[in-house]
Structure 1
Amino acid sequence: MRPALEVADIFRRHGPAYRLAHDGHLGRVERRVMAAIELCRTPALGGHVEACDNCGHSRVSFNSCRNRHCPKCQGSARERWLAAREADLLPVPYFHVVFTVPAEIAAIAYQNKAQVYAILFDTVAATLKTIGADPKHLGGELGFIAILHSWGQTLTHHPHIHCLIPGGALSTDGQRWIACRPRFFLPIPVLSRLFRRLFLERLQAAHTARHLQFFGTLEHLSDSRAFADALRPLRKTSWVVYAKPPFGSPGHVLAYLGRYTHRVAIANSRLVSMIDATVTFRWRDYRHDNAQKYMALAADEFIRRFLLHSLPDGFHRIRHYGFLANGCRRARLATIR
């Protein structure tokens, strides 16, 4: 059933005014995202006739845009992806570990999405691989799926990576499975400190190589000394890394994973109303016992926040590492089983 209100409805009504007001600052990717969502399942994209062989009833079904930012197009993509992952599940506990960067880094990331998001993936992978391989912890090769999310519940820019990790490691000689302790994966403080150090090293290297660019209020960070000064306090703050309790069964793993893999910034089901130029939606306040609350934004601000999460062309937001990497997954899983 079609929701009473969709992101597409907001874009169709208020998108033209938004394009006009932000003409000089709206990028090619954002324009394409808006156009795709507006045209999704409309006559503009064409369609096909679906007919019942028994009663002869027929209907016209319009084509989907298949844009990865479109709330309507992620359901079928998610189901196909999960079906492919079902064969990869191991009969072991799975852990959900989340890596988050501070707000100061998020601001830099917004102006350098491809570069900083790539650094985020590389740092998370290096952190998990290094600690997992340490004989003081597991002493073997981990396997994990990493998924980038760039939003918070109120659509603010909040880059973080969700990792789903089988609770154990393949020994360095590839001959045995090393199980983690019950209900404990890896020490969070150790992960957090290494994650912070590796990320800041890589970010500094990207700046030195002039791979980063800065505009507006961040323009001063183009200067190497100003950039170093901005990073210095971040070396002393705690970076948020947390792990959730392990899942009960492989079925729970798949159901949980499905909530994260093909999610977009906001689902149509969270939209409440669009009255004149005001959009209201539901959100969860995790700081107050996950309480459900409502937020009303001007349509212009709602569209701006939604577009904050447009990904660069060709950027992969789901990645596989270790013994779950695409090149070796089948053989490694057979060995582990």
Structure 2
Amino acid sequence: MNDLQRVFLEASTKGFNAYSKGVFDQLTRCHTAKMGYHRLRCDDTTCRKEQFQYHSCGNRHCPNCGGLKREQWIDNRMSELLPTPYYHLVFTLPHEFNPLIIRNRKVLFKLLFDAASQTILNHGRMPNYLGADCGITMVLHTWGQQLNFHPHVHCIVTGGGFDGQKWVQAKRVKDNFLFPEKSLSKMYKGIFLKRIQKMELQTQGLDLGNIVNEVDKKRWNVYAKAPFGGPSQVVEYLGRYSHKIAITKHRIVSVTDTHVNFRYKDYADGDKTKIKPMLRDEFLRRFEMHILPKRFTKIRHYGFMQNHGKRTRLQQIRQYLQLKPITQMVQLPVAIRMLEKYGKDIFKCPCCTHGRLRIINTVRYFKTQTQDIKEIERIINAKNKASPFG
């Protein structure tokens, strides 16, 4: 168990809800004996060295997991790219909504998706802009650089569109934006405020009417950024943002008895990288704000990219553009993906270098007492340390 996991372990004594505590528990058990392990042995009869490998938790909030899932997701999206400009849009919400959203995360996150997607689709259907449905991929983020609560959606939007029968080419190929920010902001604000006032929300201690009046006076921020330079930039963006979480292990500088120290980018000071010391309790409180509701989908598709019937529509578009049909998506095994991306053969024996590691035993999950688990961890760690695999 590393230092950050020991901080997560403290969450069990805090006043978080049962679901959040369950997430923290998974993060605490990641790559420890509590998650189980593989026992591997070299198949070379003159070597026969053994190695124990702890399982990962696979939780989508884990700072240690998700890398290979991200790569698979990107590969799947690569096969769907079309020869059209792709634009990056960001829809944010006024900070006055934060207390209300925290009490109603699931429904208001969904409203954020709905209002932003409807705004883009409405603009795309206007004949003077496109006259067709754009393809939209949206990713929800809830954090700022210092783990503050900042719900917003990042969107990848096609410059061209599909009108149900034919592909409509982008009309703003040489422009540096897809739709005017002012028009996007005004419509997005109107859709969101109209719908939120009809919803039944948890508002204990809050005055919804007063909040709506305050935000109605403000201009809502919608960033319509310049188009991506090409498919490679789209993929790079997807890689950085699609499966991103509130904080990764690479940003953690140190963990002390009282603080968690992590790197952040200060946008107000020329994007300088700085160190943020944060009390452990405050770190847990902020981290918990970014635990998504159970089974909530944080990556969504709209327009001709919506999931229902997507493959049929993409095949129609590709046929119209005289492109090759979409290739069948292949789920690559972890071993092959590691070899392709990092050049590492995870089943090659690092001791004799010619034998192959074979799984001879798998323990899925430990239900033993804490003291027993610690003893198992001690034995496995001692063997790994003495082994050339370690």
Assess same fold via TM > 0.5: yes
Partner residue of 1:93? 85
Name the SS for the 1:266 alignment partner: coil
Partner residue of 1:240? 221
Pick aligned residue for 1:194 from 187, 191, 201: 187
Post-superposition offset of 1:313:
0.8
Q: Measure the CA separation in 1 of the matches of 2:164 and 2:35.
A: 53
CA separation of 1:318/1:289 partners in 2, compared to 1, >3 Å: closer, same or farther?
same
Name the SS for the 1:44 alignment partner: helix
Deviation sequence 1:63-101 (CA, Å, 0-9, x none): 111111111111111111111111101122211100000
Query: Does 2:263 match 1:282?
Result: yes
Partner residue of 2:312? 331
Q: Measure the CA separation in 2 of the matches of 1:180 and 1:251.
A: 22
Name the SS for the 2:53 alignment partner: strand
The code of the aligned residue for 2:167 comes to R
CA separation of 1:277/1:87 partners in 2, compared to 1, >3 Å: closer, same or farther?
same
Name the SS for the 1:92 alignment partner: coil
Q: Measure the CA separation in 1 of the matches of 2:64 and 2:313.
A: 36
Pick aligned residue for 2:284 from 303, 311, 323: 303
Query: Does 2:54 match 1:73?
Result: no
Structure 1 segment 1-337 matched on structure 2, within 5 A: 9-13=3-7, 15-16=9-10, 18-20=11-13, 22=14, 25-53=15-43, 56-170=48-162, 172-181=163-172, 182=174, 183-206=176-199, 210=200, 212-215=201-204, 219-221=205-207, 227-337=208-318
Q: Measure the CA separation in 2 of the matches of 1:237 and 1:13.
A: 39
Post-superposition offset of 1:180:
3.3
Alignment gaps of 5+ in structure 2 = 319-390
- Structure 2 contact 30–55 (Cα < 8 Å) conserved: yes
Post-superposition offset of 1:328:
2.3
- Structure 2 contact 137–157 (Cα < 8 Å) conserved: yes
The code of the aligned residue for 2:195 comes to R
The code of the aligned residue for 1:89 comes to L
Name the SS for the 1:284 alignment partner: strand
CA separation of 1:333/1:41 partners in 2, compared to 1, >3 Å: closer, same or farther?
same
The code of the aligned residue for 2:181 comes to I
Name the SS for the 1:107 alignment partner: helix
- Structure 1 contact 140–178 (Cα < 8 Å) conserved: no
Off by >6 Å, runs of 4+ in structure 1: none
The code of the aligned residue for 1:272 comes to V
Query: How many residues matched?
Result: 314
Percent identity between matched residues is 38
Q: Measure the CA separation in 1 of the matches of 2:48 and 2:76.
A: 35
Q: Measure the CA separation in 2 of the matches of 1:88 and 1:51.
A: 41
Larger Rg: 2
- Structure 2 contact 86–156 (Cα < 8 Å) conserved: yes
Name the SS for the 1:71 alignment partner: coil
Q: Measure the CA separation in 2 of the matches of 1:194 and 1:44.
A: 50
CA separation of 1:299/1:88 partners in 2, compared to 1, >3 Å: closer, same or farther?
same
Name the SS for the 1:163 alignment partner: strand
Deviation sequence 1:243-283 (CA, Å, 0-9, x none): 22222221221111111111110010000011221111000
- Structure 1 contact 14–300 (Cα < 8 Å) conserved: no
CA separation of 1:13/1:235 partners in 2, compared to 1, >3 Å: closer, same or farther?
closer
Name the SS for the 2:6 alignment partner: helix
Deviation sequence 1:185-224 (CA, Å, 0-9, x none): 1111111111111011111111xxx2x1134xxx143xxx
- Structure 2 contact 262–277 (Cα < 8 Å) conserved: yes
Name the SS for the 2:197 alignment partner: helix
Post-superposition offset of 1:106:
2.1
